[in-house]
């Protein structure tokens, strides 16, 4: 029997997030093999339905819109309360979400409510001969890749690490069928309410969504010295990250920390400056597409994971690199 695949679309302030396109594209690739349909569930505040048909460009056949004031800002209980009844009714075989902060939170609650098996933070998907999902996920801080299967007949759920799957080139002529379903949320059953959202005042792209990251470690020697990384990030359109040592020293905010106890990032380019490459740091950035390390110690472990390495003093190389890129951009 053809197996249908569902995805949960993610939006913030009405803007569809990139991981949504990655997940729908992957669902399309899988559904072309199972012979099933791709349905995406798009929940949000009033007006969100306008974004629904566009998801067809990435491969959704159908979009179920859940529109309600109480869904304008994400809360676990409101989103679960709205999505669970439609997922039970639609009974897909596979349900995929992005492993963003929201997706990680929502998927756990949905899996419990839908009695589904859930593989978190996956970097690849396949199907076995029976059309069942096989998910690849990094374990032991990224040292080992595990292939995860599912037991029983229940719903198979997985979250996909952002920026790893390749979104299909959008086909704007392809529109999804849009179905708006009624949302019935009892206000008394909602335990949380978003009172205020404080936007990041820097206006920089969040680390988990950045295409380029320039990161600094203990080798930066002070918080003030991060100014040279900010300058490089400015010319590259990058976001600045940090190792835990730099965060623990009070040089950077915890939100900038990359690694096992920080953020997991998968940019196209990760430039590590004065970072030794501990296993805990690598756990957060080893799946970056291209890694460049600048470190004065030729034996620093980071070089084993790097595509390009500069053995030298970052205080010489980083400003020189910034100037060279400025020159190239000016040409």
| Residue closer to ligand FAD, measured from CB, 98 or 277 | 277
Shortest approach of ligand FAD to residue 39 CB, angstroms? 36
Question: Are 22 and 165 spatial neighbours (Cβ–Cβ below 8 Å)?
Answer: yes
Q: Which residues contact 84 (CB under 8 A, 6 or more apart)?
A: 110, 113, 114
Shortest approach of ligand FAD to residue 104 CB, angstroms? 16
What is the Cα–Cα distance from 251 to 243, expressed in whole angstroms?
A: 10
Shortest approach of ligand FAD to residue 38 CB, angstroms? 35
**Residue of 219, 241, 267, 309 that binds ligand FAD (CB under 6 A):** 219
Question: Are 17 and 58 spatial neighbours (Cβ–Cβ below 8 Å)?
Answer: no
The first and second tokens of residue 97, run together, are: 């979400």
DSSP alpha helix (H) spans, the chain = 18-34, 76-90, 101-114, 226-236, 244-248, 279-285, 314-330
| Residue closer to ligand FAD, measured from CB, 257 or 266 | 257
Residue 225 within binding range of ligand FAD, rule CB under 6 A: no
Residue 175 within binding range of ligand FAD, rule CB under 6 A: no
Restricted to residues 291-330, the positions that interact with ligand FAD (CB under 6 A) are: 294-297, 300, 313-315
| Residue closer to ligand FAD, measured from CB, 130 or 298 | 298
| Residue closer to ligand FAD, measured from CB, 116 or 300 | 300
| Residue closer to ligand FAD, measured from CB, 23 or 275 | 275
Instruction: Say how many residues touch ligand FAD, by CB under 6 A.
Output: 28
The first and second tokens of residue 265, run together, are: 């990032």
What is the Cα–Cα distance from 311 to 134, expressed in whole angstroms?
A: 41
| Residue closer to ligand FAD, measured from CB, 112 or 227 | 227
Shortest approach of ligand FAD to residue 318 CB, angstroms? 9
Residue 208 within binding range of ligand FAD, rule CB under 6 A: no
Restricted to residues 241-280, the positions that interact with ligand FAD (CB under 6 A) are: 243-246, 257-262, 274-276, 278, 280
**Residue of 28, 70, 161, 281 that binds ligand FAD (CB under 6 A):** 281
Of 19, 180, 35, which Cα lies nearest the Cα of 97?
Answer: 19
Shortest approach of ligand FAD to residue 327 CB, angstroms? 23
| Residue closer to ligand FAD, measured from CB, 136 or 280 | 280
Residue 284 within binding range of ligand FAD, rule CB under 6 A: yes
- Cα R_g (the chain), whole angstroms: 21
Shortest approach of ligand FAD to residue 110 CB, angstroms? 27
The first and second tokens of residue 86, run together, are: 């439609």
The first and second tokens of residue 53, run together, are: 């048909």
Please provide the DSSP assignment of 178-198 as one string: EEEE-----GGG---------
Please provide the DSSP assignment of 218-282 as one string: GGG-SSTTHHHHHHHHHHHT-EEEE-HHHHHTTSS-GGGBBSTTSB----SEEEEES----HHHH
| Residue closer to ligand FAD, measured from CB, 11 or 243 | 243
| Residue closer to ligand FAD, measured from CB, 87 or 275 | 275
Tell the residue number behind the tokens 């040089």, with chain if given.
251
Shortest approach of ligand FAD to residue 185 CB, angstroms? 37
- Enclosing H/E stretch for 121: strand 117-122
Q: Which residues bind ligand FAD (CB under 6 A)?
A: 217-219, 243-246, 257-262, 274-276, 278, 280-281, 284, 294-297, 300, 313-315
């Amino acid at each position: 029997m053809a197996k249908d695949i569902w995805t949960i679309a993610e939006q913030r302030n009405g803007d569809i997030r990139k991981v949504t396109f990655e997940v729908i594209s992957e669902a399309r690739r899988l559904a072309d093999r199972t012979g099933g349909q791709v349905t995406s569930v798009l929940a949000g505040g009033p007006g969100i339905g306008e974004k629904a048909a566009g998801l067809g460009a990435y491969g959704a056949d159908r979009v179920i819109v859940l529109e309600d004031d109480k869904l304008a800002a994400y809360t676990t209980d409101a989103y679960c309360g709205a999505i669970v009844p439609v997922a039970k009714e639609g009974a897909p075989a596979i349900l995929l979400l992005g492993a963003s902060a929201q997706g990680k939170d929502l998927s756990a609650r949905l899996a419990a409510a839908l009695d589904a098996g859930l593989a978190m933070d996956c970097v690849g998907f396949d199907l076995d001969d029976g059309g069942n999902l096989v998910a690849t996920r990094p374990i032991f801080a990224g040292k080992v890749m595990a292939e995860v299967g599912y037991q029983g007949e229940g719903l198979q759920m997985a979250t996909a690490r952002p920026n790893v799957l390749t979104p299909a080139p959008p086909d704007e002529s392809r529109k999804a069928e849009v179905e708006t379903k009624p949302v019935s949320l009892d206000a008394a059953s909602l335990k949380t309410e978003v009172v205020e959202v404080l936007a990041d005042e820097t206006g920089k792209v969040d680390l988990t969504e950045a295409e380029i990251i320039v990161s600094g470690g203990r080798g930066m020697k002070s918080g003030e010295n991060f100014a040279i990384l900010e300058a490089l990030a400015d010319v590259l359109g990058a976001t600045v990250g940090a190792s835990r040592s730099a965060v623990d020293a009070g040089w950077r905010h915890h939100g900038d920390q990359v690694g096992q106890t920080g953020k997991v990032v998968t940019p196209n380019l990760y430039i590590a400056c004065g970072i030794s490459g501990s296993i805990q740091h690598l756990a957060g950035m080893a799946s970056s597409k291209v890694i460049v390390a600048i470190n004065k110690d030729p034996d620093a472990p980071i070089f084993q994971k790097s595509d390009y390495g500069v053995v030298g003093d970052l205080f010489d190389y980083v400003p020189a690199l910034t100037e060279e890129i400025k020159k190239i951009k000016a040409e």
